[in-house]
Structure 1
């Protein structure tokens, strides 16, 4: 039986264990979305993970509405990421960049632009801005010219990621952001080739993934999906009909791995009673499958041992426990994270969590 603590190959990446660090927005960049030196210490502290998936990182100013989150569209950002990836590699770690376009989940006061989406909808709740939370705005539906431009943005960000020293990228297609807004019929009301049938709604995901693969290779490309339940107002009436074919498509494109965020009825965020789809997806996706969402140590060990998944991605436990792998191996108690410091700009609650004695 495979073990959570055994190595695994994820495309071209050799992961020394099957404990992945899930993407965690921490807002430690500048207002120009440039990474800062403290981020090198933070990620290097967590380099014992089999693989670090970076915090969600914007592919363009249009697509990045989170205050102080980093981007990957400018040379200044690329240069600022280099010491971060180097610090992880110096600790024998691996790190991929999660590429992010937030779609309708941005506010114009942050980007200077009207939000965009598959259709003219708006987020269901107030959005983060530099002046606190503000009411969401109606998104402008993307034209085909817009889509072509955004595909170019993904290509550039993927190339920039490798130039910055990342070992690969993860395409963020989950959690109610732009690609997810195309996938689900609750937010995609289009009548062209990008809307209507599940096949059409998958088209944008396919085109993004194909473009990234053409730029950096399938063995360095992964995808994150959230195939069940409501995430930030993004929902589908028949999720199995769109997400299982999407997973089959990604398998056929030979991506390195697929990560699923799967909240349940008692999940920390995005609670849902909709059935989890990792079972049906496992039947069509034969590459490494990674699961995420509130896993305990025992659940993670069993999930990998029984072959339900090949690895587990931990989010908030990694936030508060830089030595999470050691703690899980030796069954040691975990530090509790401090929600007050999730999105502040200092070292408190970021690089000062203690190691296990």
Structure 2
């Protein structure tokens, strides 16, 4: 029998009831940087997904790049996330925390007056939201080797905190021009030490983070998100993307990872990449593959037939908390309201209608 969107499967050690994945979606609704009761309700409503990946959750105060995004480094944050995971589990779902460090995509007003950090002192010349408006990102401080080691330990602590909060695992955010992605690419990493230059050196930080997180949780509860041909946050396209990300996949293949989650093309944009680019990386990867970027029902079913383990949906899950049920019944879909994606209250967050029973 062919796999369908409604078939159960396993992503590493995580058993999921269907192939729907709720993609990580930054919503900027944590004014005190920890989940609220409204956050609990938002994720509980969407527990019909086989797997929920949380919004990007910063691993440290220095990992924050946008106003009102939650962290996972304090006891209060862990307690808030425990309420979320309890609600999702009580509703029959599974949930992993996307652990995140934005690197240079930040500004001092979000970092207690400190400059952002990155592999090199090169500005992204991007924009971020500081709570009052969109502002230009700041030129980062180049991390020292000692600071890199401390950041790896922040990832390790985040994994421990995710475990304490009751998550089924974590997804390492290594995509979209954030810190790990900045280390990977020769556009943003101009270091001349063991973390720069060759592909082996530029992948070192990713390898150390993956080692740290998998030591805590076991690789079978750790997924990773990558965006090889995306220029999100002006990170630039590496001079040899296929070889770089091929090396990343080769490393990941040394561990029984829960899954790999590629952004197919530009993040939230065109599904464009060089011929056989994503296909080559998918074929090389031993871990279950989560397809992502602009999928509808027909595309998702085709992806499963081509060997994807599951399919991630973003905006569709924002507007349709009961997306699996709507797909099962071929019911009309609610349209997402982009004006309420980032910041605000219940409107556009927990008030989208469900299908009538």
Q: TM-score range by the shorter chain?
A: over 0.9
| Maintained 8 Å contact 1:229/1:270 | no
Whole-Å separation in 2 of the counterparts to 1:60 and 1:193: 24
User: Aligned in 2, Cα 1:29/1:22: closer, same or farther, shift over 3 Å?
Assistant: same
Whole-Å separation in 1 of the counterparts to 2:226 and 2:184: 10
Aligned to 2:254: 252
Aligned to 2:240: 238
User: Is the partner of 1:114 in helix, strand or coil?
Assistant: coil
Whole-Å separation in 1 of the counterparts to 2:118 and 2:243: 21
RMSD, matched Cα:
1.4
Aligned to 1:91: 91
| Maintained 8 Å contact 2:268/2:294 | yes
Decide which of 261, 264, 278 is 1:262's aligned counterpart: 264
| Maintained 8 Å contact 1:60/1:72 | yes
Instruction: Report how many aligned residue pairs link the two structures.
Output: 353
| Maintained 8 Å contact 1:229/1:271 | no
Query: 5+ unaligned residues in a row in structure 2: which ranges?
Result: none
1:272 Cα deviation from its structure 2 partner: 4.8
User: Is the partner of 1:103 in helix, strand or coil?
Assistant: coil
Whole-Å separation in 2 of the counterparts to 1:303 and 1:166: 27
Aligned to 1:281: 281
Query: 5+ unaligned residues in a row in structure 1: which ranges?
Result: none
1:330 Cα deviation from its structure 2 partner: 2.0
1:195 Cα deviation from its structure 2 partner: 1.1
Whole-Å separation in 2 of the counterparts to 1:110 and 1:166: 27
TM-score by length of 2: 0.96
Aligned to 1:147: 148
Whole-Å separation in 2 of the counterparts to 1:271 and 1:345: 30
Counterparts of residues 193-212 of structure 1 (less than 5 Å): 193-212=194-213
Cα-to-partner distance string for 1:284-307 (whole Å, 9 max, x where unaligned): 212201111001110110110122
Counterparts of residues 11-22 of structure 1 (less than 5 Å): 11-22=12-23
Whole-Å separation in 2 of the counterparts to 1:151 and 1:276: 33
TM-score by length of 1: 0.96
| Maintained 8 Å contact 1:44/1:88 | yes
| Maintained 8 Å contact 1:151/1:208 | yes
User: Aligned in 2, Cα 1:271/1:139: closer, same or farther, shift over 3 Å?
Assistant: farther
Cα-to-partner distance string for 1:90-139 (whole Å, 9 max, x where unaligned): 10000000000000001110112211111111122222102211122111
Aligned to 1:40: 40
- Which stretch shifts more, 329-338 or 53-62? 329-338
User: Is the partner of 2:156 in helix, strand or coil?
Assistant: helix
